[in-house]
């Protein structure tokens, strides 16, 4: 990025300068999560906690679904919708982020998470991708320093600086990076499946060599 805030590589047709904004200018609000325990999943209302955000893909991990142990009828303020980004605010996972996507269904977010609602004139995917950068990691490392447990509060998140192009260019970049993430996740799943298959085959071979009744 040069002094005119133009990247060296960009999609064809875009020439405008990028503008530096703070996250607080890009989002309408920063709200803390629901202060409720988790209970058995009721089949509809999902409860998203820090531990439910996959460390590598930043997607909702469905392995241990739960529901919020509270009266759902009065918890609408904690229901996620398109354009919502969650930020972990304390502990070892401080800085971890998650972007709500419609296929995750009906989701409520828990305490120790902060929700930022991205304004409609910005692309949520583009903003989210900015939180997966080395620059963001450095911001979290510096900002989260506390005398006790590391943490970043809503006001500090609101001060995170982001360079943004026009909305059309944001959409292009966000979609492109999301596509790469999807490919990475797909290959990671294939690799995991292969590792499990290898482990199963290895166990069967060891059983046979070990003199089991079904040994050859």
Tens-digit pLDDT profile for residues 133-173: 999 999 999 999 987 899 999 999 999 999 999 999 999 99
Burial grade of 31 (CB within 10 A; 0-12, 13-18, 19 or more): middle
Neighbour tally for 179: CB within 10 Å: 10
Rg (alpha carbons) of the chain, rounded to whole number: 21
Is it the case that residue 215 has pLDDT exceeding 50? no
Residue 211 has a pLDDT of 55
Is it the case that residue 95 has pLDDT exceeding 90? yes
β-strands 84-88, 113-118: how paired?
antiparallel
Neighbour tally for 28: CB within 10 Å: 12
**Residue-wise pLDDT tens digits, 130-139:** 999 999 999 9
CA–CA dist 82, 62 (Å, integer):
19
Residue 202 — pLDDT band, cuts 50, 70, 90? confident
DSSP 31: E
Edge-to-edge order in the sheet of strand 84-88: 27-32, 113-118, 84-88, 97-99
Which CATH architecture best describes the domain 19-165? Alpha-Beta Complex (3.90)
């Amino acid at each position: 990025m040069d002094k005119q805030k133009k990247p060296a590589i960009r999609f064809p047709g875009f020439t405008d300068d990028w503008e530096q904004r703070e996250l607080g200018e890009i989002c309408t609000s920063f709200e803390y999560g629901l202060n409720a325990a988790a209970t058995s999943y009721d089949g509809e209302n999902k409860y998203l906690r820090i531990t439910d955000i996959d460390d590598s893909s930043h997607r909702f991990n469905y392995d241990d679904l739960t529901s919020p142990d509270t009266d759902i009828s009065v918890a609408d303020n904690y229901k996620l919708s398109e354009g919502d980004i969650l930020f972990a605010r304390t502990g070892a996972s401080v800085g971890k982020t998650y972007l709500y996507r419609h296929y995750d269904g009906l989701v409520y977010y828990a305490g120790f998470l902060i929700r930022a609602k991205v304004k409609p004139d910005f692309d949520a995917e583009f903003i989210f991708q900015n939180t997966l950068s080395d620059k963001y990691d450095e911001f979290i490392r510096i900002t989260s320093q506390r005398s006790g447990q590391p943490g970043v509060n809503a006001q500090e998140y609101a001060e995170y600086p982001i360079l943004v192009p026009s909305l059309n260019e944001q959409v292009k970049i966000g979609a492109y990076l999301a596509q790469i993430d999807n490919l990475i996740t797909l290959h990671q799943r294939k690799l995991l499946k292969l590792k499990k298959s290898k482990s199963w085959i290895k166990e069967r071979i060891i059983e046979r060599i070990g003199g089991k009744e079904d040994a050859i």
